[in-house]
Amino acid sequence: MATYTDALRGYAYKVHKRDNFKCRYCGVDGLQSFDVWLTLTLDHLLPKDHPNCNNQECMVTACHFCNTADNRYFDKAEQYDLQFDNLTPDQLVEQRRGHVEKTRHEYRVFWETQVRAKAE
């Protein structure tokens, strides 16, 4: 097998494969569509200054939107009352999921009222 340096075929591939090529937040499935697979990213569950930040167990598959849905997530750790220590990767995903879902909902409302409504 060739050596790839990009995320999808290289360094993130193991994590994507472990997660069955599905976004851990919204469940979009990269096995079902090439176009969806192209949107998959590697999401760090811990802030950059955390000692386990780059541990692959503390990274998950996320579609581009879910990964960037709350870009200031780590900066708002105190405001959100987030914990990073002594949590499993699944608990870290669940801790973030509500913030991602809230942002997705806000975008959906915008899309329905501003984008789709203009097409009708």
- The predicted pLDDT at position 5 comes to 87
Number of Cβ atoms within 10 Å of the Cβ of 61: 24
Q: What residue ranges of the chain have pLDDT lower than 50?
A: none
End-to-end CA distance of the chain: 48
pLDDT score, position 1? 61
Is 44 within 8 Å of 50 (Cβ atoms)?
Answer: no
Nearest Cα neighbor of 25 from 78, 86, 81, 104 is 104
Query: H or E stretch including 43?
Result: strand 40-44
**What is the token pair recorded at 112?**
């329905």
Q: What is the pLDDT of residue 28?
A: 97
pLDDT digits (tens, 9 = 90+) for 83-94: 999 999 999 999
Distance CA 86, CA 40 (A): 27
How is residue 63 written in tokens? Answer: 């579609």
